[in-house]
């Protein structure tokens, strides 16, 4: 990627560094759900002002052209909003409900467009993301022993629910300062760290693992990896554990595809895998059954939610969806229909149009970043982050976690800019290091 112009460090770089490094302090006042959208709006405003409000004395050059990847994500998120409006109109929902849902879209899906735009068009440094994430990881590592012993010494689960709750949100857990939670399935503690629930911690832990592995400073790399693994393991998220062993090795393998030694080295394992395939398949099947058995009741609820969402989507609103989530029956413990799964949630709320609005940008980014990963560290990280998002669509509703995942979106924006620059100069030949 082209080096930033020779001018003082940009205000947006300071904003991103401060916001990411302040994750734990802001969490301690229950303000993370507010910080993410506010930061996204501020960065987007800076892009628009820099691009369209200029004078001869403007100190910085205009932002670069918006890459096609950002346009694709922006178009997808706008289609999400259109689908939401059509769903509200089709089911004759009130104007107040439509406004409320539109605000929810602005605090959720819209952030994908905002943060990728900021990463692509502002002077935000990749190293800024890595350094600030490293500081948050250090704080996490220092706090982990305290969080771990909290249930053992009888400390309360929830310390308090922040007054920031007045801004509105999906639920009080987004504003609660919580030391741990008790799993109703087995009565054992699980840890959420600075996320609203434990599986979300699995997602964020994997994001920090990717960023830590990209850090070239030994101390901060080790600190980041240890903190990320602590989050993933203590969250007890099955999907988090699975993605931890899949995402980074896959991204690293893709980044090395131009190296002939990789193909030669893969020949023997491929031969052995074919030779012992019955045994391997048996072991994989047993491992899968073991993962499912860890939380059998949770699987039952998730599968029932999925069946209800599919049935009602297909029979009631196949194209545009219902416009809003609905409370499920007693069978699924009254959880919202389509929750715990991005695709089922999109089908129920925004229909086939909503699914396409996310699937196409995800597919584009996976292909674009896979190509970029062959010659770029940022491309490799962005591919890993996008693959992580794709995998977690089957276990989480991404829309309501964007306020935590925003550093990954900024990295995706940085990669989109670099991919655009390389296409312009036709220079994809330098291998990743």
* Residue 324 per-residue DSSP state: S
Q: What SS3 class is residue 56?
A: coil
* Of the listed ranges 77-86, 193-202, 238-247, 309-318, the one predicted with least confidence: 309-318
pLDDT: which is higher, 87 or 337: 87
SS (H, E, C) 151-207: CCCCCCCEEEECHHHHHCCCCHHHCEEECCEECCCCCCEECCCCCCCHHHHHHHHHH
Q: What is the pTM of this model?
A: 0.88
Task: Give percent above pLDDT 90 in the chain.
Answer: 50
Whether the Cβ atoms of residue 211 and residue 410 lie closer than 8 Å to each other: no
Q: What SS3 class is residue 61?
A: coil
Q: Rounded to whole angstroms, how far apart are CA atoms 16 and 96?
A: 34
Per-residue pLDDT tens for 364-397? 999 999 999 998 899 999 999 999 999 998 888 8
* Mean pLDDT (whole number) for 192-219: 93
Per-residue pLDDT tens for 96-126? 889 988 998 999 899 999 999 999 999 999 9
Cα-flanking dihedrals φ and ψ of residue 294, to 5°? -60, -35
Q: Rounded to whole angstroms, how far apart are CA atoms 69 and 67?
A: 5
* Of the listed ranges 13-17, 46-50, 166-170, 232-236, the one predicted with least confidence: 166-170
* Mean pLDDT (whole number) for 327-339: 68
pLDDT: which is higher, 270 or 135: 135
In the structure, what pLDDT confidence band is assigned to residue 91 with cuts at 50, 70 and 90? confident
Residue 83 has pLDDT above 60, yes or no: yes
* Mean pLDDT (whole number) for 24-45: 94
Based on C-alpha coordinates, what's the Rg of the chain?
22
Q: Rounded to whole angstroms, how far apart are CA atoms 279 and 257?
A: 28
Burial of 12 (0-12, 13-18, 19+ CB in 10 A): buried
In the structure, what pLDDT confidence band is assigned to residue 94 with cuts at 50, 70 and 90? confident
In the structure, what pLDDT confidence band is assigned to residue 5 with cuts at 50, 70 and 90? very low
Average pLDDT, the chain: 84
SS3 content of the chain, % helix, strand, coil (to 5): 70, 5, 25
Give the pLDDT confidence score for residue 388 in this predicted structure: 95
Give the domain ranges of the chain: 11-53+60-258+295-425, 261-294
């Amino acid at each position: 990627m082209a080096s930033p112009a020779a001018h003082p460090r940009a205000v947006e770089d300071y904003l991103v560094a401060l916001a990411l490094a302040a994750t734990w302090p802001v969490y301690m006042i229950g303000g993370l759900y507010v910080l993410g959208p506010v930061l996204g709006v501020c960065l987007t405003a800076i892009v628009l002002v820099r691009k369209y409000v200029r004078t001869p004395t403007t100190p910085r050059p205009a932002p670069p052209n918006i890459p096609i990847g950002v346009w694709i994500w922006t178009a997808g998120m706008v289609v999400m909003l259109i689908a939401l409006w059509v769903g509200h109109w089709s089911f004759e929902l009130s104007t107040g409900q439509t406004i409320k849902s539109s605000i929810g879209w602005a605090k959720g899906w819209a952030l994908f467009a905002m943060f990728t735009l900021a990463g692509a068009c502002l002077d935000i440094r990749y190293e800024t993301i890595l350094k600030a994430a490293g500081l948050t990881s250090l704080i996490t590592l220092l706090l982990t022993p305290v969080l771990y012993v909290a249930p053992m010494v009888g400390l309360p689960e929830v310390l308090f629910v922040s007054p920031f709750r007045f801004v509105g949100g999906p639920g009080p857990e987004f504003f609660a300062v919580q030391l741990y939670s008790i799993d109703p399935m087995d009565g054992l503690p699980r840890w959420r760290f600075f996320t609203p629930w434990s599986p979300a911690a699995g997602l964020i832990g994997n994001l920090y693992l990717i960023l830590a592995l990209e850090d070239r400073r030994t101390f901060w790399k080790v600190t980041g990896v240890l903190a990320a693994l602590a989050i993933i393991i203590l969250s007890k998220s099955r999907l988090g554990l699975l993605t931890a062993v899949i995402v980074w090795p896959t991204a690293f393998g893709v980044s090395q595809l131009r190296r002939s030694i990789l193909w030669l080295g893969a020949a023997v394992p491929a031969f052995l895998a074919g030779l012992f395939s019955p045994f391997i398949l048996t072991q994989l099947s047993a491992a899968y059954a073991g993962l499912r058995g860890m939380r059998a009741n949770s699987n039952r609820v998730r599968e029932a939610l999925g069946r209800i969402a599919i049935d009602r989507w297909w029979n009631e609103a196949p194209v545009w969806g219902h416009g809003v989530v609905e409370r499920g029956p007693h069978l699924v413990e009254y959880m919202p229909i389509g929750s715990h799964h991005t695709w089922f949630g999109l089908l129920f709320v925004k229909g086939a149009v909503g699914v396409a609005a996310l699937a196409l940008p995800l597919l584009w980014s996976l292909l674009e970043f896979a190509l970029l990963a062959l010659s770029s560290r940022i491309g490799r990280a962005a591919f890993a982050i996008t693959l992580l998002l794709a995998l977690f669509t089957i276990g989480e509703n991404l829309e309501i976690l964007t306020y935590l995942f925003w550093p990954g979106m900024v990295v995706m924006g940085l990669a989109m800019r670099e991919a655009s620059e390389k296409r312009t100069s036709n220079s994809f030949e330098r291998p990743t290091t």
